[in-house]
Amino acid sequence: MFVLVYVDDIIVASSSQEATSALLKNLQSDFALKDLGDLHFFLGIEVKQLEDGLLLSQQRYAMEVIEKANMKNCKPVDTPISTSEKLNVA
């Protein structure tokens, strides 16, 4: 079981629904809890449920950063590096 806590948000992930239910029932005795359903986005991480697990991605967050920096329409460019140079500690 994983319990992630950030300020006033709690995410519980477990392979056992019974264990999750027991934990949430215990927490509800001391705290007001609200179940927001399946997790989709948390701290810049997008969560997609697949048949065999979860897919975590920051693509949406990265696109938001690019948009805030007004770089959405910028063209990508390669940054070449010499393949013949030898690197050493100076």
- Give the pairing of strands 9-13 and 41-42: unpaired
Does the pLDDT value for residue 90 go beyond 80?
A: no
23 pLDDT band, cuts 50/70/90, is very high
CA atoms of 9 and 5, how far apart (whole Å): 6
Percent of the chain at pLDDT exceeding 90: 44
64: tokens are 């938001």
Q: Taking the CB of residue 47, how many other CB atoms lie within 10 A of it?
A: 15
